[in-house]
Structure 1
Amino acid sequence: MRPAPTDTKAWNAYLAEGNAKQARKRVSADVILRDAHDRILTVNPTYKDGWDLPGGMAEANESPDQAALRELHEELGLTLTLHRLLVVDWVAPHEPWDDQLAFIFDAGTLSPALAATVRPHDDELSEALFLPATEAAARLRPRQRDRLCGALRSLADGRTRYLRNGAEPWQV
């Protein structure tokens, strides 16, 4: 039986039980960060095959934008401001993983002096390179490549994209 909202302790216990039964989503948050030549920063993780965009997984109760900023600081020593959301991609369950929400934010363009200093700052990355968009896309795994292409379209037309497994569901 559902308790009355006026019984604060019982009501909160009831809500907590409902919350515990709800789905949990993994959340990743990456950025597109460019240099003065409009090249895109890509990173080479040491813990998996293939290259990535800078960013990573959100921690418990951490917003996607804060996760992206934290990852930039931890992995590359960069303290930046995000400009806007470019993409939200729902990723279906795959292999051992449950579904996920993947965000890509626009982190702007670094000055030539700052771009020249970008280096990995922890052991999660072995390299960080600014690459032309086509070369950056070629290094990414297919799922992230599709997400990058959606983000580049968002940069070009100013429209935030919702993707489902890397594709715009209304254009499939």
Structure 2
Amino acid sequence: MSKQEGDDPERFRWLAEGNARQARKRVAAKVVICDEDGRFLLVNPTYKQYWDLPGGMAEANESPIAAALREVEEELGFTTQISGLLLVDWVDAHGPWDDLLVFIFDGGTAGEEDVHRMSVTDEELSEFAFFSLAAAEARLRPDMWLKLSRAVGAKKLSGVSYEEFRQIGLSDQR
């Protein structure tokens, strides 16, 4: 009869040492939420120049979906439902930041009552609003605009988009 991994302290220590040496990835989890008119929910962070999709960074050992749900609840006091994954994007290291995986989920449609219940409940945001896709482009950082447009395209095709975004010229400044 063989021992389970957890039953052998020496093997467990060896595995833990290997785990400690492996790379860690930062994970961002965002949500595409529409209103009944098909406009997209954007939030205006107080610490960024541009508007953004609702969501944020995952905490240690938190799943991307759990992070997305937690962030929307913390920022807007709104509980959304995730119906699927729309986009995964790898962003290379740039400036002071290590590389990052961005997950964008489908948060469905917020009804009129849902929209009225939303409010800014986190000091990281100054406001939120719904915008057409064209109006969203003017408010989002160019790379986030590309993520949103790819996520919308994936939703129309009932698929998932995967990309690798490279910050040309920035990764050399690390």
**Please, what TM-score do these two structures have when normalized by structure 1?**
0.90
Task: Tell me whether 1:79 sits opposite 2:118 in the alignment.
Answer: no
Deviation string 1:56-106 (CA, Å, 9 cap, x unpaired) is 000000000000000010000011210100000000001100000000000
In structure 2, the residue matched to 1:153 is 153
Query: 1:136 offset after TM fit, Å?
Result: 1.1
Contact 2:87–2:160 (8 Å) recurs in 1: yes
Q: Give the count of matched residue pairs.
A: 162
Query: Which residues of 2 match residues 6-25 of structure 1 at below 5 A?
Result: 8-25=8-25
Q: Which runs of 5+ in 1 are unaligned?
A: 167-172
In structure 2, the residue matched to 1:169 is none
Contact 2:78–2:117 (8 Å) recurs in 1: no
Contact 2:92–2:165 (8 Å) recurs in 1: yes
**Please, what TM-score do these two structures have when normalized by structure 2?**
0.89
Q: In 2, distance between residues paired with 1:39 and 1:48?
A: 22
Cα–Cα, structure 1 residues 43 and 19, in superposed 2: closer, same or farther, change >3 Å? same
Contact 1:137–1:148 (8 Å) recurs in 2: no
Task: Tell me whether 1:108 sits opposite 2:119 in the alignment.
Answer: no
Q: In 2, distance between residues paired with 1:7 and 1:113?
A: 53
Consecutive aligned runs of 4 or more in structure 1 exceeding 4 Å deviation: none
Counterpart of 1:80, as a letter, is: T
Q: Which runs of 5+ in 2 are unaligned?
A: 167-174
Query: 1:114 offset after TM fit, Å?
Result: 1.6
Report SS of the residue matched to 2:81.
coil
Q: Percent identity?
A: 50
Counterpart of 2:44, as a letter, is: N
Contact 2:29–2:68 (8 Å) recurs in 1: yes
Cα–Cα, structure 1 residues 24 and 113, in superposed 2: closer, same or farther, change >3 Å? same
